[in-house]
Each structure stands twice: as C-alpha cells, then as structure tokens.
Amino acid sequence: MSEAVRILIVDDEPAMHDSYRRSFAPTRNRGEQALDAMAAALFDDVAVAAGGPAFALTHRSQGLDAVAEVERALAAGDPYAVAFIDIRMPPGIDGRETARRIRSLDPAVNLVIVTGYSDFSPVEIARVAGPADKIFYIAKPFEVAEIVQTATALGERWRVDRELATARATLSAQVLLLEEQKLELAANESRAIHIATHDSLTDAPNRLAFLRALGERVRGPGQFATAMFDLDRFKLVNDTLGHLAGDKLIQEICAILHAHAPDGAMVARLGGDEFGVLFDTLGEQAAVMACERLVAACSTSISVFGNSVQGGSSAGVVVTKGGEGREPVDVLRRADLALNDAKRAGRGVVHVFDEGMDEGIRFRRRIEGGLSEAIARGELSLVYQPIVGRDAFDVLGFEALLRWNTAEYGPMSPAVFIPIAEESNLIHELGDWVLGKALAEMQHWPDQYVSVNFSPRQFRRHNFVGHVMESVQRAGVSPTRVQIEITETAIFDDAERAAETLYKLRQMGFRIALDDFGTGYSSLYNIRKFALDCLKIDKSFIDGMGRERESAAIVHSIIHLGRALGLGVVAEGVETEAQVQALRIAGAQYLQGYYLSRPVMPTIARDLAARGRIGEEPVAATGTNG
C-alpha cells in the first residue's frame, strides 16, 4: 500500500504501548537488505515490499480519549483502518463500551480486542460493537508477528472496502442518472405524441388523430357518422376584431361541440375554423338530428374579449357502414363535400353526402387515368434534395422526390396524386419507375447514397425484399448506397412482418430510415425492435424549435435517443440559419431542407455530388414545383 495504515491503540498500560511501538517499528538488518537486492535482480528491478506496509500509530490510554480521537479523525477526513482496544481500562469506560462508541461513529473501522482477561464474552462484545466480521480478538501477551500480520491484513481489507464502497456509490449514481434519463425520454415521447396528435390552440385531437380514429372505425362493425363543421362569419371576426379574437372564438366553439356532441363522440380541430365529429349512429336521420343539435348549440352569442359575437356553423355529414373497406381519407372527403354543399346553401344548415356531390370522385378517376399514362408520356421526373453533414455541409446523399407535370392540370403536388396512387395498384408501377430512375441516376455520383420513399402499400407488397434486391442488382449498384425510407404507418400495421422484412433488408446491406419520426406510433420499445439505421425528425418539430420549448425538448430527446441506440439522425425541413445552429448544438448529425438546398434537377445534383459539399449560399430553386 502506498499510504501508511492508520492504527489507533487504546490501552491503560504504558508498557503495552511500548510493545506496540516495537512491534510496528521497521527493522531491516544487512542480511534482509541483501535479500531485497537479490529479489530485485530476480524480478527485473521491480520494487519488492520491504517488511510490509508502513503504519501510523496513535496511542490513547483511556476509552473516552480514543472515542474523541476517532471523532476528530473522521471530521478531518483521515479515519482509522484498525483500532486495538484493551478491555480493562480503569477508571474510565471499559473496552466493550469503547468499542461500541467507536463503532457507532465509524462503521468501517476494524476493531481488535486485545486482553489477557475479559469480563465479557466475545459474543457480548460483538453484540454491541459488531458486525462480527469487523471485530477480532488477540490474547495478551501477544506475538509481534500476530499483531503485525493482523494489522496488515485488516489495513488492506479496509482499503479494499473503501474502494468498493466508492465504486458502489458511483455505480448507484450512474444507475440513478440512467433511470432519470429513461423517465425524461418517456415523458418527452409522451409529449411528442400529444403534440403530434393534438391541436395547440384547443388541445383537441388534430387531423392526424381524427384520420387515425376514422381508420380504426371503418374497420369495425356498425354504422357511424363523420361530420365536418365550419364556422359561419369567421373571417369577419378575424378581420374586425383581430386574430386573437378569432382564436378565442375557435376555443369557445370547440368547447361547445365537446359539451353537446353525442356520447362517445370524438371532436377534433381539423385546421383553421373546421372541426370534425366522429360518432356512432343508427342511420342518416339520427346523424342529421345530432348534427342539427350541434349547429343549434353553436348559434349563440359568445363573449370574445368583451365583444359579443354571434356564433354559427354549417355541417356536412356522411354515414358509413364499418367493415366495407372504405378509406378514411375518402370518408372525410365525402363529409367535406357535404359541408361545401351546406355552405353554398346558406348558413346554419346540415347537408348529407350523396353521390351527386362527388366531383372529387370524377377528379380522382381522371387522376388515375392520367397516372397510368404518365410514364409513357414522359410527364414524370425526379428531383433530388441533398442530405448533408451538419458541420461542413458535405453532401452525403440525396432524397429522390417524384414530380408530375400533367398535360391537363400542369404541375401537380405529390400530396394530391400519391394518395390516389396508394389507393390503387398504380403505386407499384410508380414505385418501380422511381426506384429504377434513381438507381440509374446515382451512378453519376462519386459515392453518395440515394434515399427512396416507399409507401405502406409498396412495403406490404409480396416479395418486397426480393423485388428491391433484383432492381439494385440489375442496376449494378451496391445496396449500401440505397436508403429505404418508410413511415411508421408502414411498419406498425403489421409489426411482426415488418420486423422480419427490415431485418432481411439490413442483412443485404440496405440502409433503413424511419421517416417523419415523432408523429406516429413510435415508442422506445418499437425503435429497439426494428432494424433501423436512421431517424428523420419530422419538420413540424424543427419548425417549432424557436417558438415552443416542447418542440425543442422533443428534438433534443430524439437526437439523444438516436445516439443511445447507435442510429443516425436527420433533421428535415431546415429552413433558417438559426435552426442549423440549434441543431448543431443539439447534436443532429445530418441536415436536409430549403436552407441548404431545394430539390434540384439531376444535372445540378451531379454537380453537387462531384463538388462534395454545399456552399455558403443555399442552392436555388430549380424550376420544379417544390
């Protein structure tokens, strides 16, 4: 041991203290020194302990003095490892009481009872000064070796016990910290789900939550009604009293709808001044009556910041039978068509959907027909948005994005035609074209990867893994340069099958990215369960970082979660320099968004790939529609 072993000796006989001093005094004769030299030579000049550890002795003649000395040593942070205690020490307290008091002050010290005759049995002493494994006995007169060996062994044991106690305390603190981080992640996850599925103004479920509930209801039994409500004269309130008054009116109407909705109904704010109500019904007549009660409840005078505002709403409703395979988006669209018809008819009315309203169905059919011929007509194209490293803006990959320039309607948003393609088998034809085109284009890049989006229906395609692998092999591209982007909906609809599919893709070398992370069904368990490489933080959280503490906390939590699980994290929708700096500080590895580059034409993407990085100025728009 590098430090001297501190020993307290308590005995009322001066001669005994002299015996202890002689016992612990270092004595090295010439013969021993010669042996030390030989040992050093045999062990390659490694230092050999000479006579064991050094000892620092403190002598006290009475028990009370010894107790005071232990208290002082503890206060100074220099405690004793071993205390040798006599039993009979008149006129003060005896050895048993001395041992008890010392033990109460310092539970870690090793006690050695040294006596020729004791009024107490070892059991009695251990009962007050135990535990038994920290109290020992030596009879007087003692042998020098016995004393020294006991002190050496107990001193080493005391040192090891202290190191173990420190290690346990450190480990306990680390476990506590991990538990706190786990609770924080769980709380942030819960907040993220709530933010993603609830309207920030009214705290009612939002469009995403409403569509999810509608999706569950269309698969269940029985009839249900989907109603959409729109406020009458809302624009007038906004224009005359201001947006804060408009927000207050929306909150008041939301509370009225909640209070008067049928039992078990779901009331959601779908956006702006539109609300959705989902409830079970016996038929169209019952549904219309329920909606008329809600319209009547909204037609009341509402106080908004001291101003009396006349409330009012119109409603459209569609009654659907569950289990018939209806698409939630289509059901909501039909309710919206009925609402538009009600608004054209006047204020404060309820209209039921009928097929005659469905110009949207005819539009959908035209879109389907146009999509089926778009490839042959050369109307489809791909643009590429760079995915860059956070520090040097080095271009690591590109996300391939589909564009359609129609002959009839001009440039059409993917948000319009992708859902229509998803509802039919056209999504497979489009997906095959996108994958083939992207794989061909990336061969013009030095080493960047391409990220391709796959819809839920594509992901559930029979032999999806084999189909993707065949396309990659045919193009002569390494799977490691292909990232498959999927949404949470795609994998959690059939979690077991999805887990197996993702595992096979990873085994073959493909990269897997979970898109729009934080807005769906994710949990810590689900993320661990699936074979993923990357999380893409939904742009709604990036956009809210500068305005909402919750969004910033969620972004930080997702980044920390990704780091803990060994996943890359891409921040999507980066549009300002302030967001870039905040994401750098938070630790996001990769960035993507308009601040860095809009989606660009293939020729510009090739230049960016060859250059290897984005310059100081964001890459300009390219003439595409987004």
The conformational region for residue 386 under phi > 0 = left, psi -120 to 50 = alpha, else beta, is beta
Radius of gyration (Cα) for the chain, nearest Å? Answer: 39
pLDDT of res. 50: 43
pLDDT of res. 6: 94
pLDDT of res. 55: 92
Mean pLDDT on 205-209: 93
**Among the listed ranges 147-156, 230-239, 564-573, which one has the minimum average pLDDT value?**
230-239
Q: With bands split at pLDDT 50, 70 and 90, how would you rate the model's confidence at 324?
A: confident
CA distances from 399 to 402, 435, 453, 588 (A): 10, 11, 8, 18
E strands, 281-345, are: 301-304, 307-310, 313-321
CB 504 within 8 A of CB 465: yes
Amino acid in the structure at residue 247: D
pLDDT of res. 381: 94
Would you state the structure tokens that stand for residue 615, as one six-digit string? 């310059």
Mean pLDDT on 458-474: 91
**Among the listed ranges 99-108, 169-178, 512-521, 568-577, which one has the minimum average pLDDT value?**
512-521
Q: What domains can you pick out in the chain, each with its CATH number?
A: 5-166 (3.40.50.2300), 207-357 (3.30.70.270)
CA distance 582 to 108: 50
pLDDT > 70 fraction of the chain, expressed in percent and rounded: 90
Mean pLDDT on 38-45: 43
pLDDT of res. 493: 63
Of residues 217, 225, 213, 200, the one with CA closest to residue 294: 225
Q: With bands split at pLDDT 50, 70 and 90, how would you rate the model's confidence at 118?
A: low
Would you state the structure tokens that stand for residue 553, as one six-digit string? 């906390």
398 contacts: CB under 8 Å, gap ≥ 6: 384, 385, 386, 387, 442, 445, 448, 449, 450, 451, 605, 609
pLDDT, averaged across the chain: 86
Of residues 150, 155, 103, the one with CA closest to residue 126: 103
CA distance 548 to 540: 11
pLDDT of res. 45: 39
Give the residue with greater pLDDT, 341 vs 297. Answer: 297
- How many other CB atoms are found less than 10 A from the CB of residue 156? 15
Residue 93 phi/psi, 5° resolution?
Answer: -70, 150
pLDDT of res. 292: 94
pLDDT of res. 602: 96
CB 516 within 8 A of CB 487: yes
**Among the listed ranges 200-209, 349-358, 378-387, 597-606, which one has the minimum average pLDDT value?**
349-358
Mean pLDDT on 447-462: 90
Q: With bands split at pLDDT 50, 70 and 90, how would you rate the model's confidence at 69?
A: very high
pLDDT greater than 50 at residue 243: yes
pLDDT greater than 50 at residue 39: no
CA distance 550 to 541: 9
Give the residue with greater pLDDT, 618 vs 204. Answer: 204
Q: With bands split at pLDDT 50, 70 and 90, how would you rate the model's confidence at 32?
A: very low
Q: With bands split at pLDDT 50, 70 and 90, how would you rate the model's confidence at 345?
A: confident
**Among the listed ranges 263-277, 462-476, 481-495, which one has the minimum average pLDDT value?**
481-495
- How many other CB atoms are found less than 10 A from the CB of residue 499? 15
Q: With bands split at pLDDT 50, 70 and 90, how would you rate the model's confidence at 38?
A: very low
pLDDT greater than 90 at residue 260: yes
pLDDT greater than 50 at residue 44: no
SS (H, E, C) 484-552: EEEEHHHHHCCHHHHHHHHHHHHHCCCEEEEEEECCCCCCHHHHHHCCCCEEEECHHHHHHCCCCHHHH
pLDDT of res. 553: 86
Of residues 263, 179, 267, 265, the one with CA closest to residue 229: 267
pLDDT of res. 235: 82
CB 315 within 8 A of CB 295: yes
pTM: 0.50
CA distance 425 to 476: 27
CA distance 343 to 337: 10
pLDDT greater than 50 at residue 579: yes
